[in-house]
Structure 1
Amino acid sequence: MMSFKSTLAMLSLAMTAAVAAPAAPAQAETITCPHSQIRREVTTGLPGGWWNTPIVNSLTEARVTNIGGRAALQCIYGPAGSIQRYAPDGATCRVRGRQFECSRGSASGAGARTFSTGPLEIPQTWTADLDRGAVGRGSGVDIWFQAETAELLYVAPRNGAQLGVGDRRNRGFDGCRAARYSANRVSLRDIPVGSYICAKTNEGRISQFRVNAVSGGSPKTLSLGYTTWQ
């Protein structure tokens, strides 16, 4: 018969092996734009003598964007327009060439996980918290929509947060983690609509936001779509 000490030793080894076992790898999925080329044309009936010339364009770019507060995969076809779908639930997607690589975290929780994401509508001179997705004042704000004049407008980091402008492309978590950061403010002239900017929040998280729009008139509202990772 097995002794009590031997049983304890075997249980101890089994527990050690269970703790030391490697975590399950992240589940990865490659999503491809469904068409290499699309055609855009007017389908509404036209009066006699009028016609439409269809626009046909090849795939020019793949992009991860934010639509309605959710990550979306967008395939761009130049003047012919774009098609899009939402990212798979619980997945973090990155652009790889003209495809999307979407992965879910491992069983141990390793890897990038979304902490918060959504749209931000920031009125001129207001601030925003990229950790909580909140607009307004407070000790946790990360960026300030600063206005020196009606024309000199900036995004300025606050409370120890930093910005990484880079090439203004969508870099995702890995790209933003490796980005070079600065505490200097950035002129809106240098980050036009469509620019992606990396940020390091005042709580130390990696974030990225896209400049979606700047309203006309004065004062203005800065529209961003952002994702902050755990």
Structure 2
Amino acid sequence: MMSFKSTLAMLSLAMTAAVAAPAAPAKAETITCPHSQIRREVTTALPGGWWNTPIVNSLTEARVTNIGGRAALLCLYGPAGSIQRYAPDGATCRVSGRQFECNRGSASGAGARTFSTGPLEIPQTWTADLDRGAVGRGSGVDIWFQAETAELLYLAPRNGAQLGVGDRRNRGFDGCRGARFSANRVSLRDIPVGSYICAKTNEGRISQFRVNAVSGGSPKTLSLGYTTWQ
């Protein structure tokens, strides 16, 4: 029969092992565009003597976009058009060549729920709220599209929000939760189009946005796609 001390020692060892157990690995999924070419043609019935010449084009580009507030995977085929689908539930997807790498995160982040997501079009000198997805001025804004001159443009945290630039890759909830954050502003030269930036909102939520575009001319408009988690 085991002594009381031996039983306690075994329980302590089991608890230590449970705490030290590594987190479950990330669940990654590669999604490819379903066709290398697509065909577009008129399907409406035509009167006698009329015909349509179909357009056939090869795949030219893959994009992650936003449709109705949800992340979507878009395959473009030039003049023949495009096809799309929603990203898998709970996954953060990025473009890799002409396919998509979708990561559902580790077990530690599997329960993260989206609080808000969508596109943001921020005019120069305006602000945006990453919690509510609103552009404009107010006490709840998180980032400011700051312009010192026509060439010196910055993204500056506001109201206690912080940014985590890192390596500018798509890190998702788990990656952003462990990011190194700063209240310092960031030059747009350091976060070119295609960069993913982590953020901690002024309400304490973890967020990530992608720099989708910066308009030409002056004043400019900054286009972002963002997701903020609960």
With structure 2 as the length reference, what TM-score do the two structures score? 0.66
Structure 2 match to 1:129: 129
Using a 3 Å threshold, how does the CA distance of structure 1 residues 59 and 198 change in structure 2: closer, same or farther?
A: farther
What corresponds to 1:19 in structure 2? 19
Quote how far apart the aligned CAs of 1:97 are: 1.5
Q: Percent identity?
A: 96
Deviation at 1:145, TM superposition (A): 7.3
1:104-123 CA-to-partner distances (Å, cap 9, x unmatched) read 12122289985531245779
Relative to structure 1, the CA distance from residue 58 to residue 150 in structure 2 (aligned partners, 3 Å threshold; closer, same or farther) is same
Displacement after TM superposition at 1:183 (Å):
10
CA-CA distance at 1:61 after TM superposition: 1.2
The DSSP-based 3-state class of the residue aligned with 1:146 is: strand
Q: How much does 1:221 deviate?
A: 10
Unaligned runs of 5+ in 2: none
Is the contact made by 1:69 and 1:225 (CA closer than 8 Å) also made in structure 2?
no
How far is the alpha carbon of 1:203 from its aligned partner?
Answer: 7.2
Aligned partners of 2:190 and 2:152: how far apart in 1? Answer: 11
Shift of 1:41: 1.0
Q: CA 1:8/1:129 → structure 2, altered by over 3 Å: closer, same or farther?
A: same
2:221 match = 221
Instruction: Give distance in 1, aligned partners of 2:146 and 2:31.
Output: 39
Aligned residues of 1:181 and 1:199 also touching (Cα < 8 A): yes
1:24, 1:181 → 2: CA distance? 25
12 and 130 in structure 1: CA distance in 2 versus 1, 3 angstrom threshold:
same
Preserved CA contact (<8 Å) 2:106 2:174: no
For the structure 1 residues 21 and 82, does the alpha-carbon distance in structure 2 shift closer, same or farther, using more than 3 Å as the test?
same
- Asked if the contact 2:161–2:199 (Cα under 8 Å) also holds between the matched residues in 1, the reply is yes
Deviation of the 1:130 alpha carbon: 1.8
CA 1:222–1:102 in 2, change beyond 3 Å: closer, same or farther?
Answer: closer
Residue number in structure 2 paired with 1:199: 199
In structure 2, the CA distance between the partners of 1:51 and 1:99, relative to structure 1 (3 Å rule), is: same
Shift of 1:175: 11
Relative to structure 2, which stretch is displaced further, 169-178 or 26-35?
169-178
Q: Which sections of structure 1, spanning at least 5 residues, go unmatched?
A: none
Provide the aligned length of Structure 1 versus Structure 2.
230
* C-alpha deviation, 1:56, in angstroms: 0.7
| Cα displacement string for residues 110-143 of structure 1 (whole angstroms, at most 9, x for unaligned residues) | 8998553124577998642023323443233134
CA–CA separation in structure 1 for the residues paired with 2:204 and 2:21: 30
What is the distance in 1 between the residues matched to 2:35 and 2:104? 25
In structure 1, what is the Cα distance between the partners aligned to 2:30 and 2:90?
A: 15
Q: Aligned partners of 1:175 and 1:103: how far apart in 2? A: 11
Cα distance change on mapping 1:19 and 1:190 into 2, 3 Å: closer
- Map 1:184-195; keep pairs closer than 5 Å: none
1:216–1:21: structure 2 CA closer, same or farther, 3 Å change rule?
Answer: closer
Instruction: Name the CA distance, whole Å, in 2 between partners of 1:175 and 1:105.
Output: 9
| Contact persistence 2:109–2:174 (CA under 8 A) | no
Question: 1:56–1:145: structure 2 CA closer, same or farther, 3 Å change rule?
Answer: same
Task: Tell me if the contact between 1:164 and 1:198 (Cα under 8 Å) persists in the aligned partners.
Answer: yes
Closer, same or farther: CA 37–30 of 1 in aligned 2, 3 Å:
same
Structure 1 pair 5/195, CA: closer, same or farther in 2 (3 Å)? closer
2:87 touches 2:93 (CA, 8 Å); kept in 1? yes
The change in CA–CA distance for 1:120 and 1:168 in structure 2 (over 3 A counts) is same
CA contact (8 A) 2:121 2:222 kept: yes
Q: Is the 8 Å Cα contact of residues 109 and 173 (structure 2) preserved in structure 1?
A: no
Deviations 1:44-65 (A, max 9, x none): 1234443322111111111111
Secondary structure of 1:17's aligned partner: helix
> How much has 1:80 moved relative to structure 2?
0.9
* Native 8 Å contact 1:71 1:86 kept in 2: yes
